Structures are given as C-alpha cells and as structure tokens.
Amino acid sequence: MGTQIFVNLPVKDLNRSIAFFTKLGYTFNPQFTDHKATCMVVSDHIYFMLIVEEFFQTFTRKPIADASQVTEAILCLSADSREAVDEITRKAVEAGGSIPREAQDHGWMYIKGFQDLDGHLWEYLYMDSNATPAS
C-alpha cells in the first residue's frame, strides 16, 4: 500500500463545509464522519479531515490560525487539464468561495486557486510534463 496523506483542517461550521465541498464534487467517508469531523475523499491516497474548531483545538496547544486573516498553508492538488482547473475553481466561486489571485499560466504549468468558506487557500494545477522546461 502506498503512503496516504490525511490533512487536518479546522472549520467553523462542519455542515456548511460539507455542503461547499460537495458542490465541488467531493465525497465523504461516513465511517469517519460525526458532528465533530468528516473525512473528505480526494483519492485513494488523499484525504482531508474537516474538523470543527473546538475539537481541532484538542489536537494542539497552539492557537488555531484564522485562515481568513493569515496564510497557514496553500493546499495544492493536481488536475487532468486546464479546463478541469477552471471548472473546480468556477464551482468553488459558485459555492461561496473566492479567487484570491489571478491564474498563473507558465505555458507548461497552469495554476488557479480559491479560498474556501473558512479562508483556507486551495490551488489546482495542470502540468504538461512533455512541455516541462529542461533544467
């Protein structure tokens, strides 16, 4: 079995976050979902645990960053095409998210992102490995 990643993200309103990411086409594992958290399935190896802030705070002694005010991380996922990048970001805006900056088009690599309802920054990128510049 390959390495899996579970990214834990604090959210203010779990049901609102589930509704937002459902509109983007993601599903949730009911086995790991209750009133405090849910497991958003990205792929067979990538999962995002959306965790209500009060419960998330029990995992750390540090304060939780207010992602609407500071950048905690930029979560970047690959897409199969430029069109797929544009589609997911379009869906995010329609679901209530916002676009924090213009798309970055480097010819061989295309990146566009959104800010979710809690302020977390997400980017989706398409990379044409056949057009990657030589180092």
pTM score, whole prediction: 0.91
Determine the topology of domain 68-135 in CATH: 2,3-Dihydroxybiphenyl 1,2-Dioxygenase; domain 1 (3.10.180)
Give 51-104 pLDDT, tens digit per residue. Answer: 999 999 999 999 999 999 999 999 999 999 999 999 999 999 999 999 999 999
pLDDT above 70 (res 135): no
State whether residue 28 is helix, strand or coil. Answer: strand
- Give, in degrees to the nearest 5, the angle at Cα 94 between 107 and 69: 80
Would 1-64 and 68-135 be classified into the same CATH topology? yes
Taking Cα atoms as reference points, which of 134, 132, 135 lies closest to residue 110? 132
Task: Write down the CATH superfamily of domain 1-64.
Answer: 2,3-Dihydroxybiphenyl 1,2-Dioxygenase, domain 1 (3.10.180.10)
Q: Give the residue extent of every domain in the chain.
A: 1-64, 68-135
